[in-house]
Chains A and B, each alone.
Chain A
Amino acid sequence: MKLSILIGGKAGQGINLVSGLVSKTLIHQGYFTFNYRDYPSIIRGGHNFNILTLCDKQIMSHETTIDIIVSMDELTSSLHKSELNKGGIIIESASYEKFGLNLNVALAGALMKILGFNHDVLIENIKANKSINNEKGIEAATAGYDSVQVKYNLSSQKKNITIMTGSKGLAIGAVNSGIDLYTGYPMTPSSALLHELAGMMEKNGHFVFQAENELSAVNSALGASFAGAKVMTGSSGGGFDLMTEALSLQGTTELPLVVHLAQRPGPATGLPTFTSQGDLGLALRAGHGEFPRIVAAPGTPNECAEVTNELFYLTQKYGSLGIVLTDKHLLEGEYSYEDAPKKPLVVKVDRKVPGTTGFISKVSSYEQGEDGNVTEDGSVVIKTQNDRLARYEGMRKEIKDKNISMYKLHGKKNSKNLIIGWGSTCGAIIDSINKGNLDAQFLQVIYMKPMSPDIKKIILKAKNIILVENNLTGQLGRLLRERFLIAILKQNRILRYDGRSFTPGMLIPELKKRMKK
């Protein structure tokens, strides 16, 4: 049982309300959902759509072939008609226009009926939503409901499913780590975390600061870290570029710092509201000079929570920089789960911070001598630099001791075909293997730096390696080549760089073409 519903219209028409209402109902009935959001960088007008997929099994991707189109304007049906599956239906807005601002509510009512939910379930869900719980809302929903016939009869399943986005996952991970301060500056898609943490501020008691720019956000994060706070900052694209000098400051000061890099397609302003994996190289190298860092890329919202917590833990313990690498698809995609993130590691700040009786704490952007002041003594510099690099050893051991997953293997064990990918492409890759019943194993790389040496063994064991990335040049492929001297054949790289995420529909044939029997 799997259905794809496309809900489209102009920005500002309330598309998210429809998909939100329907997906909430669906998970209560025990269905897994995945909601993909496609919208341009404008506030009003244009063409926006969500593709809400529902399934009785876990899914983490969407399709571009559609069973039901909910069309809030004429453009939607004309643009997407060709994507309709055989027997698919379109709910046109024309007959509901009299509901004005409640057009979306009326359409939601119609959609719920088509899916076979009874009227009580609809009203219950309307009442749970503050913005539409009023007479007009209920009237519109009911009228919509009464205007169509039941087409699918979704029976209720006994499951306990929750909806979660990547940004929510990151926020949960930060809160689980005892975050004290988040600093940021608005930029899509990183703003999703800024908003998420700001929304949780009152309840959790941390503080969120919207700085005057990214330079301020990152430098103030380091100042606060020095004063003993557990801090996180983050940005996307150019905003992250602006932070890079201070990442290097993290290198000399060794102040714990977790940075979220939310990828979107570049260069420059690029495609602000679309997705990309084009900044892996940036995360690995950003900042001048040589200093240790951890770069990790979660692939699902639960992993977002886990990796964020791990980075808080490791950066506190090893005075290092930790970069959580995500993208728009992962941050804003609405996943659904039965399982919760792993039990978090307890993060403690145990060092002498300014204010400690009897001590003076000093930290500097210059190389420091034992007295905390500037030094240009070559032997001190050598020792400091060596000590910095040596911290990787401790980190590796800690990662092992704490059972942190540096990579994951999915799909068919010991298959001769090995698919390699990372981050948000995981959803489409895993769903492709399941849906296409593919003879393939999938290696999901999570920790890019440090990287597990197991990865080399896994790759060497496979007969056929296929790389899947959401970028132009295959950046993970390049990293593997640098790290393990393993090159992936050009014809075996499946790369997508139009700002859109992979779907099983397009991935399965691409994989099949490259798989060995």
Chain B
Amino acid sequence: MKAIPIPKDEIGKIADVEKSKGLKFLRTASPVTWCPGCPNYSIMEGARRAVLNLMKQGWKREDFIMVAGIGCHGKIYDYININGFNALHGRALPTAFGVKLGNPNLKVMVFAGDGDNYSEGMEHFIHMGRFNPNMTLIVHDNQGFSLTTGQATPITQMGYNKSKAEPYGEVHYPMNPLKLALMTNIGFIARCNARDFTHTAEIIEKAMKYNGFAFVEIIQDCIIFNTAVNGRDENMYKVESKKRTFDEALKLASEYDYNSKDGKIPIGIIYQDDSKIAFDEKFPPLKKLKEQKIGWRDFKRS
């Protein structure tokens, strides 16, 4: 565990720091190890901008915390300079939930991969709608285990033939995480295109402001492994932001089946239910921490 002082040149008026540091603001000095051209770069930029925009609206930098899984996506922990917990593979969600239990005032963003979240960590994902902790999950959906060199995940298309683990090719039916999110009662469901960082920033910002569990899927190309599903930008279209019923949202979520090259891919907020109560509003001890704007460490028991 390390506590590192915020760089001196990043303290002061946000607009001034932004001007002087430009794209380096909120970034660490660690060299980036993603493949040149990997859309993880633009996901990171989207996330950085979302944090920056929220800071401009008065959110404190020290209150942001990211929890990342293990995979190419998880490297983001090394590159964005906010509080962070690089968790175990598949366990980003419960770890983040714990952070929220330890201090409900922290602004928690979780970065996971499709292998991380739907394979190793599925048992946590499907409970998030139930518990409804006030945090945002961002899943880098590149339809493959990339860090472990290209095996198939639960959302890999059938016929994928590059996995060294499946010499007969991928024969399993892919699942649809957006439909699953709807079915498991998640109250905020959105999808973004990794390359469009302005839109991604906008959606992450909205997700962070949502009072409850928000799920943002990011459709991401891996330019090394599952390249067969790359370049779907033409199929993508932005949905208008409006209130949708569950059935309308389900219809939208069903448009892309993760399997075929055709079919439209709706982007934007697919579903938002503002009537849900967040986890930390349900329990008196956590409510007290929120009221006093502190974590357990600074809480005085009477």
| Residues in chain A within 8 A of chain B (CB atoms) | 178, 180-181, 183, 201-202, 204-207, 209, 211-213, 215-217, 219-231, 245-246, 249, 253-255, 319, 349, 351-366, 368, 370-374
Contacting residues, chain B, for A352 (C-beta < 8 A): 3
Which residues of B in the span 48-102 have a Cβ within 8 Å of any Cβ on A? 62-63, 65, 67, 70, 75, 77-78, 81-88, 91, 93-102
Chain B residue with minimal CB distance to A178? B301
Tell me the interface secondary structure of chain B in the complex.
mixed
Q: Which of A212, A213, A254, A354 contacts B103 (CB 8 A)?
A: A354
B101/A223 in contact, CB under 8 A: yes
Q: Which of B82, B84, B94 contacts A220 (CB 8 A)?
A: B94
Is B224 interfacial (CB 8 A cutoff)? Answer: no
B98/A219 in contact, CB under 8 A: yes
Contacting residues, chain B, for A206 (C-beta < 8 A): 285
Min CB gap A235→B, angstroms: 14
How many angstroms between the C-alpha atoms of A383 and B3 in the bound complex? 18
Q: Which of A222, A254, A359, A372 contacts B98 (CB 8 A)?
A: A222
Contacting residues, chain B, for A374 (C-beta < 8 A): 30, 75, 78, 86
B285/A211 in contact, CB under 8 A: no
**B interface size (C-beta, 8 A):** 55
B94/A255 in contact, CB under 8 A: no
Is B15 interfacial (CB 8 A cutoff)? Answer: no
Is B235 interfacial (CB 8 A cutoff)? Answer: no
Is B2 interfacial (CB 8 A cutoff)? Answer: yes
Is B106 interfacial (CB 8 A cutoff)? Answer: yes
Instruction: Tell me whether A349 and B297 are in contact in the complex, defined as CB-CB below 8 angstroms, given that A227-B106, A363-B85, A364-B85 are known contacts.
Output: yes
How many angstroms between the C-alpha atoms of A206 and B286 in the bound complex? 9
Is B20 interfacial (CB 8 A cutoff)? Answer: no
B123/A213 in contact, CB under 8 A: yes
How many angstroms between the C-alpha atoms of A363 and B99 in the bound complex? 12
Pairs of residues from A and B, 6 with the lowest C-beta to C-beta distance, nearest first: A223-B98, A227-B102, A220-B98, A228-B297, A224-B102, A352-B3
Contacting residues, chain B, for A216 (C-beta < 8 A): 93-94, 97, 123-124, 127
B77/A354 in contact, CB under 8 A: no
Min CB gap A153→B, angstroms: 48
Min CB gap B29→A, angstroms: 7
Instruction: Tell me whether A246 and B88 are in contact in the complex, defined as CB-CB below 8 angstroms, given that A223-B101, A355-B106 are known contacts.
Output: yes
With contacts A222-B95, A227-B98 known, what are 15 further pairs, Cβ within 8 A? A183-B101, A206-B285, A207-B283, A215-B94, A215-B124, A216-B127, A217-B94, A220-B101, A223-B94, A225-B98, A226-B99, A354-B63, A360-B3, A365-B87, A371-B30
Chain A residue with minimal CB distance to B63? A355
Contacting residues, chain A, for B87 (C-beta < 8 A): 219, 223, 249, 365
A227/B99 in contact, CB under 8 A: yes
A358/B83 in contact, CB under 8 A: no
A215/B2 in contact, CB under 8 A: no
B101/A181 in contact, CB under 8 A: yes
How many angstroms between the C-alpha atoms of A163 and B114 in the bound complex? 52
Is B36 interfacial (CB 8 A cutoff)? Answer: no
Is B28 interfacial (CB 8 A cutoff)? Answer: yes
Chain A residue with minimal CB distance to B120? A215
Chain A residue with minimal CB distance to B295? A228
Instruction: Tell me whether A355 and B105 are in contact in the complex, defined as CB-CB below 8 angstroms, given that A254-B1, A361-B1, A371-B4 are known contacts.
Output: yes
Residue of A225, A359, A370, A372 contacting most chain B CB atoms (<10 Å): A372
